[in-house]
Amino acid sequence: MEAMKISKRFFAFGILACIAIYVAYMKWHLDSKPLVGATEGVAESRMDKLSHQALTTELSVFYGIMFDAGSTGTRIHIFKFTQQPKETPKLTHETFKALKPGLSAYADDVEKSGQGIKELLEVAKKEVPMELWKFTPLVLKATAGLRLLPGEKAQKLLDKVKEIFQASPFFVRDNCVSIMNGTDEGISAWITINFLTGSLDDPQKRSVGMLDLGGGSTQITFLPHTEATLQTSPAGHTTSFQMFNSTYKLYSYSYLGLGLMSARLAILGGVEGKPLGEGEELISPCLPPGFKSEWQHAEIVYKIKGQKAGEPLYESCSNKVAKMLYKKVHKAEEVKDLDFYAFSYYYDHAAEVGLIDKEKGGSLTVNDFEIAAKYVCKTMEISPGSSPFLCMDLTYITFLLQELGFPKTQVFKVTHKNRLLGRVGRRRQDITHHASSLVPGFPFCYNACSMSEMGQHCPHNCDNEL
């Protein structure tokens, strides 16, 4: 467990999570209804709130708990805020812990899914003072792992989490557990990175785009500078929102099923959520010749093997990857003229093969990924080494970036999210200050709260959870 530093997963949810938690907390202060699951009457609930107001006036401390349920794991972020009288709150501490596998791995055994959630809630109980439990908002946002599941299975998992949340001592609303759609996931990451790089504060500073390669999905988000990009983009690839008294029109799309782990399965010839039959195995030109093993994905074990030696590994793998990606990705021409940060598996594999410094990150091109892919694939023709998927993964990254519209000479900043978020140490006090600049409704939609309860108009459909 990490404490006293910002975790890497804070990137995707951090800034907006803090705003959402803060606003949920403030909404609670204004709400006269009893807490969910409370057996005490309204009068007692109000007395509790008055007591808490006195308590927080003296201590100037409150907390918020955000669960991030991704495709490969579930993470808890416990945020601590301090507030001086007549000042906006300041984020002063984050505690982070992650567990594997992700919630989606328990699609066929919902009861098992609760064990990890309960374990992470115990972490929260240790971090949050007992007297503040009932005043601490608790929220879970699920991403690609649950989006890949059939609706009924995903809902059963969400219902189980909500059941556990409601049995906890924390502050829980009816809509505290939900699936975050891919576009919103990309937008939240774009807002965070541009907040941290200062682009949102300085109109003269050029914004940066964001590339994130997760396990179940991959996102691309950027602010177009040409109207042609907005007009020629396919339906669902652009969105707009209001923030800081400005309207932003973004190109943002999440490709579900094209995250690295899901792409592996597709390249191997498997089907998401479908086990192999007796005696079946997946044979791939992207695996070393003679290689034979088992691979587990989303709690399903697949027997895999490489093809017999023949065509060079990179060439045969390239053909397979190109066919898998055919017509699945929109190529946005404008990206070649913009600056982008790349994260997650882009960073992991670049660091693994020495393209960038593991601690500092660095800049590299699509061509650098291609050179690394060719080298690794050639090496694997002799020996599979300890990373039999590395040839496949690097080849996939090379082709994915080109399909997205990036030329081989395009330079990216590739960094670990922790490294970028070192800037939060300097800017964390500004996070909740910006909450007051958001248009009414934005934080509530992001936190899936109903604006009608506040008598305000939400500029977005809250069903979309932004």
Binding-site residues from annotation for ATP: 215-219
Angle at 30 between CA 29 and CA 36, to 5 degrees: 70
Contact 219, 185 (CB under 8 A): yes
Task: For residue 242, count CB atoms less than 10 angstroms from its CB and return exposed for 0-12, middle for 13-18, buried for 19 or more.
Answer: middle
Inter-CA distances, 410 with 65, 190, 220, 337, 406, Å: 39, 19, 15, 9, 6
- In the sheet that holds 238-243, the strands lie side by side as 238-243, 246-256, 217-222, 209-213, 340-344, 411-414, 362-365
Distance CA 20, CA 14 (A): 10
Which residues are CB-neighbours of 393 under 8 A, at least 6 positions away?
Answer: 260, 264, 345, 349
Terminal Cα-to-Cα distance of the chain (whole angstroms): 29
Amino acid at 145: G
* Binding site per annotation, positions: 215-219
Evaluate the omega torsion of the peptide bond into residue 101 and state whether it is cis, within 30 degrees of 0: yes
Pairing between β-strand 209-213 and β-strand 340-344 as defined by DSSP bridges: parallel
Q: Is there a catalytic annotation at residue 185?
A: yes
Catalytic residue among 94, 127, 185, 465: 185
Pairwise CA distance, residues 336 & 406, whole Å: 5
Distance CA 1, CA 276 (A): 37
Catalytic residue numbers?
185
